[in-house]
Amino acid sequence: MSNLITIFITMALLNNFILVKFLGLCPFFGVSKKLSNAVSMGAAVTFVMVIASIATWIITQYILIPFNVVYMSTVIFILVIASLVQIIEMFIMRTNYALYSAFGIYLALITTNCAVLGITLWNITEEYNLLQSIFAALGGGVGFTLVLAIMSGIRERLELSDSPKSMKGLPIAFLVAMLLGLAFSGFGGII
Amino acid sequence: MNIVVILVLTAIGIACGAIIYLAYVKIPHKVKGLEKIEEISNALPGMNCGACGYAGCFAYAQELAKNSDLITQTPCAVAMQDPEAVSCLEKALNISLDTSALCKKALIHCGGNSEVLYNYDGIQSCKAAARLGSGYKKCPYACLGFGDCVAACPQGGISIDKEGGIAVIEQGLCTGCGLCAAECPQGLIELVPAGTKVAFRCNYQPLRDIPGREKCEYGCIHCRKCFNACKYEAITWNKEKAIPEFDIEKCTLCGKCIEACPQHTLAFFTPVRTEAEPALSQ
Last residue of one domain, picked from the residues B67, B102, B137? B102
In this structure, the answer to whether residues B90 and B115 fall within a common structural domain is: no
Q: Using 50, 70 and 90 to split pLDDT, how confident is the model at B208?
A: low
In this structure, the answer to whether residues B195 and B243 fall within a common structural domain is: yes
- Residue B14, in any domain of the structure: no
User: What pLDDT, on a 0 to 100 scale, did the predictor assign at position B279?
Assistant: 45
Q: Using 50, 70 and 90 to split pLDDT, how confident is the model at A177?
A: very high
- Residue B155, in any domain of the structure: yes
In this structure, the answer to whether residues B88 and B146 fall within a common structural domain is: no
Q: Above 90 in pLDDT, residue A143? A: yes
Please tell me the least confidently modeled range out of A80-84, A150-154, B66-70, B98-102: B98-102
Q: Using 50, 70 and 90 to split pLDDT, how confident is the model at B69?
A: confident
Q: Say what the pTM is.
A: 0.56
Which residue is closest to A91 within chain B, CA to CA? B27
Task: Count Cα neighbours of A35 within 13 Å in the Cβ-side half-sphere.
Answer: 7
In the 8-state DSSP scheme, what is residue A17?
T
CA distance B200 to chain A (A): 44
Alpha helices in A32-169 (DSSP H): 35-59, 65-67, 73-95, 97-103, 106-109, 114-125, 130-160
User: What pLDDT, on a 0 to 100 scale, did the predictor assign at position B106?
Assistant: 86
Q: Using 50, 70 and 90 to split pLDDT, how confident is the model at B101?
A: low
Which residue is closest to A74 within chain B, CA to CA? B9
Mean pLDDT, chain A, rounded, equals 88
Q: Above 50 in pLDDT, residue B206? A: yes
What long-range pairs does A80-83 form, CB within 8 A, spacing at least 24? A80/A52, A80/A55, A80/A56, A80/B12, A80/B16, A81/A48, A81/A52, A81/A55, A81/A56, A81/A111, A81/A116, A81/A117, A81/A120, A82/A111, A82/A112, A82/B16, A83/B16, A83/B17, A83/B19, A83/B20
Could A94 and B4 be called an inter-chain contact, meaning their C-beta atoms sit closer than 8 Å? no
In this structure, the answer to whether residues B92 and B134 fall within a common structural domain is: no
Which residue is closest to B56 within chain A, CA to CA? A105
- Residue B68, in any domain of the structure: yes
How confident is the model over A129-148, as a mean pLDDT? Answer: 94
Last residue of one domain, picked from the residues B83, B102, B121? B102
Which residue is closest to B25 within chain A, CA to CA? A90
- Residue B75, in any domain of the structure: yes
Nearest neighbour of B34 by CB, restricted to A64, A82, A94: A94
Q: Above 90 in pLDDT, residue A149? A: yes
In this structure, the answer to whether residues B63 and B120 fall within a common structural domain is: no
Question: What is the value of ipTM here, to two decimals?
Answer: 0.77
In this structure, the answer to whether residues B53 and B176 fall within a common structural domain is: no
- Residue numbers of the domain that contains B42: 33-102
- Residue B43, in any domain of the structure: yes
CA distance A80 to chain B (A): 7
Best A60, A61, A76, A120 residue to mutate vs chain B (most B CBs within 10 Å): A76
Q: Above 70 in pLDDT, residue A32? A: yes
In this structure, the answer to whether residues B75 and B86 fall within a common structural domain is: yes
CA distance A37 to chain B (A): 17
User: What pLDDT, on a 0 to 100 scale, did the predictor assign at position B280?
Assistant: 47
Q: Using 50, 70 and 90 to split pLDDT, how confident is the model at B145?
A: confident
Domain harbouring B124, CATH code? 3.30.70.20
- Residue B274, in any domain of the structure: no
In this structure, the answer to whether residues B98 and B115 fall within a common structural domain is: no
Chain A positions in Cβ-Cβ contact with residue B20 (cut-off 8 Å): 83, 86-87
How many percent of chain B have pLDDT more than 90? 4
Please tell me the least confidently modeled range out of A21-35, A143-157, B2-16, B264-278: B264-278
Alpha helices in chain B (DSSP H): 2-26, 34-43, 57-66, 70-73, 77-80, 83-93, 99-102, 126-130, 148-152, 179-183, 212-215, 225-229, 256-260
In this structure, the answer to whether residues B232 and B177 fall within a common structural domain is: yes
Contact status, residue B150 vs residue B158, Cβ threshold 8 Å: yes
In this structure, the answer to whether residues B237 and B163 fall within a common structural domain is: yes
Mean pLDDT, chain B, rounded, equals 79
Residue B204 CA to residue B134 CA, distance in Å, equals 13
Q: Above 70 in pLDDT, residue B209? A: no
In this structure, the answer to whether residues B79 and B176 fall within a common structural domain is: no
Residue A135 CA to residue A53 CA, distance in Å, equals 10
Among residues B169, B183, B172, the alpha carbon closest in space to that of B106 is found at B169
Residue B20 CA to residue B13 CA, distance in Å, equals 11
Residue B190 CA to residue B178 CA, distance in Å, equals 8
Q: Using 50, 70 and 90 to split pLDDT, how confident is the model at A146?
A: very high
User: What pLDDT, on a 0 to 100 scale, did the predictor assign at position A60?
Assistant: 92
Segment B267-278, tens digit of pLDDT: 877 654 444 444
A106 vs B209, more confident:
A106
Among residues B103, B36, B100, the alpha carbon closest in space to that of B68 is found at B36
Q: Above 90 in pLDDT, residue B218? A: no
State how many domains chain B has.
2
Segment A55-77, tens digit of pLDDT: 999 999 999 899 888 888 899 99
How confident is the model over A6-13, as a mean pLDDT? Answer: 90
* Highest-pLDDT range among A109-113, B30-34, B48-52, B153-157: B153-157
Burial (CB count within 10 angstroms: exposed 0-12, middle 13-18, buried 19+), residue B233: exposed
How confident is the model over B5-33, as a mean pLDDT? Answer: 87
Question: Which amino acid would we find at residue A128?
Answer: Y
Please tell me the least confidently modeled range out of A145-159, B29-43, B246-260: B29-43
Could B23 and A97 be called an inter-chain contact, meaning their C-beta atoms sit closer than 8 Å? no
CA distance A28 to chain B (A): 23
Q: Which helix (H) or strand (E) holds B235?
A: strand B235-238
* Highest-pLDDT range among A92-106, B73-87, B119-133: B119-133
- Residue B3, in any domain of the structure: no
Last residue of one domain, picked from the residues B79, B102, B125? B102
Q: Above 50 in pLDDT, residue A174? A: yes
- Residue B255, in any domain of the structure: yes
In this structure, the answer to whether residues B168 and B253 fall within a common structural domain is: yes
Nearest neighbour of A97 by CB, restricted to B16, B20, B34: B34
Residue B226 CA to residue B206 CA, distance in Å, equals 17
User: What pLDDT, on a 0 to 100 scale, did the predictor assign at position B282?
Assistant: 37
How many percent of chain A have pLDDT more than 90? 39
